Amino acid sequence: MRPTDWRVPVAVAAVTGVLSYLVIDRIYGSIPMLPWSAIPTLLLLAAAETIAAVHTRRRIRRVPGTEPMEPLSAARLLALAKASVVFAALAVGGFGGMLAALAERFNAVDVRADALTAGGTLLSAVVLLAAALFLEHSCRVPGDEEPNRSRA
């Protein structure tokens, strides 16, 4: 498998952000207040992926005192990391678009509460994105260099 290219999460976040902005801008008054529970959920996922990344990296590099990593386990963690990158990019774009749409209505108290929740969720999604990319990087085998790409 190839490492996730930086353009994939950027493109997903950009498209999701634009769509989120357009939808929230039109229907904001008819939706309930944004729940804050996504913030700790995303942070817990990020913490779990960071812990898994540290342990995976040590096991793949065969640090003394650790048992070797089975290839299937590493492949499962890599699949989790790749899925988390896409999910976190969706969340970054969605809540970024929401925050941009709410910036125009910032005078109302309910809008400020939703904007703070959207901003916190956006930051939590960025942390999850970083943790997922770190987990993906930790699944690399030592000495497994990126092959030279020929540009044709």
Burial per residue of 60-85, b for 16 or more beta-carbon CB atoms within 10 angstroms, e otherwise:
beeeeeeeebeeeebeebbebbbebb
What are the tens digits of pLDDT across the range 21-60? Answer: 999 989 988 888 889 999 999 999 999 999 999 999 999 9
Do the domain assignments include residue 17? no
| Residue 37 dihedral angles phi and psi, to the nearest 5° | -65, -15
Q: Is 104 left (phi over 0), alpha (psi -120 to 50) or beta?
A: alpha
- 144, burial (CB in 10 Å: exposed 0-12, middle 13-18, buried 19+): exposed
Taking alpha carbons only, the member of 15, 19, 28, 14 closest to residue 103 is: 28
Do the domain assignments include residue 58? yes
Q: For all residues of the chain together, what is the average pLDDT? A: 91
CA distance 44 to 61: 26
Q: What average pLDDT does the segment 79-108 reach? A: 94
Q: How confident is the model at residue 151 (pLDDT cuts 50, 70, 90)?
A: very low
pLDDT of residue 152: 44
Q: pLDDT at residue 147 above 80?
A: no
**Which residues, including other chains, have CB under 8 Å from residue 61's CB and lie 6 or more apart?**
142
Do the domain assignments include residue 15? no
Taking alpha carbons only, the member of 130, 90, 89, 101 closest to residue 34 is: 101
Do the domain assignments include residue 25? no
Q: What average pLDDT does the segment 5-10 reach? A: 94
What are the tens digits of pLDDT across the range 96-110? Answer: 999 999 988 888 778
Do the domain assignments include residue 13? no
Which residues form the domain of 66? 39-138
pLDDT of residue 4: 87
Number of domains in the chain: 1
Q: pLDDT at residue 17 above 90?
A: yes
User: Rounded to two decimals, what is the model's pTM?
Assistant: 0.88
Q: How confident is the model at residue 146 (pLDDT cuts 50, 70, 90)?
A: low
